[in-house]
Amino acid sequence: MAIIVVFALLLLMFIIPFLPGIIEYYRKTDADPLFVAIGYSKDPRYFSTSFKHILANSIEGLKQGQSTVNVKLSKRETIEITADRIIPSGNEIDHLLYIKGDLTSGNHVKLMMDVFATGNVSLGTDNIVQVLAAEGNVNMAKGVSFKRWVDADGKLDISANCDLGISATSGNLLRIAGNCRFRRLYAMPIVSGIINEPLIGDYENIFPANKMIMDISFAREKKTIIEANTEINQNMIFIKSVEIRNDCIFRGAIKSYGSFNILENVTICGNVFADGDIRLGNGTVVLGNIFSQGSIFLASGARVGRPNIIKSVIGKKNVTIEKDVIIYGYVATEGVGLTI
């Protein structure tokens, strides 16, 4: 009997330190928002910036007129330095290209090594590209596939059925058509579909500075439905999945331990965080960041962020974007990003 009591006490002493964590896992009680390091920033175009710096250092001091040389990057590489370049359909190039001007490629071209152009780039149908950095605009036809990344200082226009590798970034407008796959996107703004130029909404009129909720405290809410046309002037935390119906206005941030199904023409001033999935309906505007441990779906007409203020859309499992969506800033997923 004494042995059983001692064993039970030892077992209890082992469990007690883990008890608060177990309770929190199954019955969440905190009302604090997910931690976000607001002051932290990372260059979303780091790949391009680093590549250009390494390339500039590698070709420094080359004699005028040299066209193909062996340079030291991460290892010894052959690089071709040329003026404006047109690559005929069906060609394959297996060395680096440094183009002082514009690049135009035909259909079914394979660029198996990194490419840098000081001008504009136009890629033909079904090209395969390792890396592309351009100081001008980049326009790609249907079916272009990137092994790693693409970056343009100017506009980046992406046609349907493209695979953008791990990163597609622009210093200007990134316009992306349907049925494209991605992991990370960055531009100011990102536009899905065929919108010519995004319209700038009167966000300051909707949310004057003195009406925005700056208090970091969150009010707890057990409701699973927020009825249409509701206005809420505080930060909210929902302990279950919730449906937010049409034309609601939140002048603060919202967080859910479940999922968010946000219907049409909802406006949210702050961040949207969820342990589950997040769905934004047609015409919904979120001025803050969006983060989901699950999936994010942005329906046609959704808007995230506003001009000159970078925001992020992060869906851990995947991100799906319909046409006519505008995002000011950054989109990322550990899974698959898809435009439809």
CA–chain centroid gap for 209, Å, is 27
Tell me: the pLDDT tens digits for 147-163? 999 999 999 999 999 99
- What integer pLDDT is reported at residue 157 of this predicted model? 97
For residue 67, CA distances in Å to 60, 85, 139, 171, 232 come to 14, 13, 26, 29, 64
For residue 285, CA distances in Å to 253, 282, 300 come to 13, 9, 11
d(CA 21, CA 30): 12
Average pLDDT over residues 104-111: 98
Collect all residues with Cβ–Cβ distance below 8 Å to 5 and sequence separation of at least 6: none
Tell me: the pLDDT tens digits for 305-326? 999 899 999 999 999 999 999 9
**What is the reported pTM?**
0.84
Per cent of the chain over pLDDT 90 is 68
